[in-house]
Chains A and B, each alone.
Chain A
Amino acid sequence: MDLRRDVYQAIADPTRRAILVLVAAQALSAGAIASNFDTARPTVSRHLKILTECGLLTQEQTGREVYYHLNPQKIREIADFIEPFRKMWDDRFNRLEAIMKAQQAT
């Protein structure tokens, strides 16, 4: 089955989310990223490939090293900045309201 790479698939993996948090601070080489994980280097490379394919990371060749940058535009596409955060709280507060209404009814 040939699944299209999409951002939700990309961020479903905890190592890949950790990589995004790392690269958000500064552009890093594959080696520098891999040194932050106990996972084997080829595994980290595979994660980088997936993140690059779905556009969350961009590559830049500097001398012999390839540096990975975060693509803020793509991040915003999934995040739209405040909306997911707002949605998270809205869902929680809707639950709170429903639970407390049920409490009042009893």
Chain B
Amino acid sequence: MKSKTHVSAENGRQDLRITRTFDLPVESLFRAYVEPALLEQWMGTRVLKLENRPHGGWQIETRDAQGNVVFRANGVIHAFVPNRKITRTFEMEDSPFAVQLEFLEFESLTEATSRLDIHIVFRSVDYRDQLLQMPFAYGINMAHNRLQEVAGALQ
């Protein structure tokens, strides 16, 4: 499958952009972000709290097969405009990484296609680069999942 997700992270900047076009109407794309049952499916994580309004809070967590929490993150929603934008903070719990600010902009391209533009601002250039250099620290369970995939493919 051709990849439709683009990440741009310019040298020496403390932000990055993730853009993606979807074969979905913008309403459908936005729903995937606001309905916990849907968000859980595509993010592969449990939603503990999701208050879709300005000053609302959110919290997600991932557990391993033994039920141990391997990843938990939370934040506050600052702006919420249906089918247009979500501005929120994101912080991984029990990690050395500082809170980050995320601007999510949803745009309708045609009746059946849409685009999502995510702009993430980090506390410093170093924080951003460290996160990018160590993707396994970002959602610390990723390396495990990857290994399970590899192991699964070998069976």
Which residues of B sit under 8 angstroms from A14, Cβ to Cβ?
Answer: 140
Query: Are A8 and B146 closer than 8 Å at their CB atoms?
Result: yes
What is the number of residues of chain B that contact chain A, defined by CB distance less than 8 Å? 40
Say yes or no: B142 contacts A88, CB within 8 Å: yes
Total A-B pairs, Cβ < 8 A: 98
Interfacial residues, chain A to chain B (CB-CB below 8 A): 8, 11-12, 14, 17, 20-21, 24, 72, 75-76, 79, 81-82, 84-86, 88-90, 92-97, 99-101, 103-104
Subset of 29 A-B contacts with CB under 8 Å:
A8-B143, A8-B147, A17-B136, A24-B130, A75-B133, A76-B133, A79-B133, A79-B134, A81-B9, A81-B133, A84-B136, A85-B135, A86-B5, A86-B18, A88-B142, A89-B5, A89-B20, A90-B4, A92-B43, A93-B116, A95-B41, A96-B22, A99-B41, A100-B22, A100-B29, A100-B38, A101-B24, A103-B28, A104-B28
Which residues does B use to contact A, with CB under 8 Å? 1, 3-7, 9, 18, 20, 22-24, 28-29, 31-32, 38, 41-44, 96, 116, 130-140, 142-144, 146-147, 150
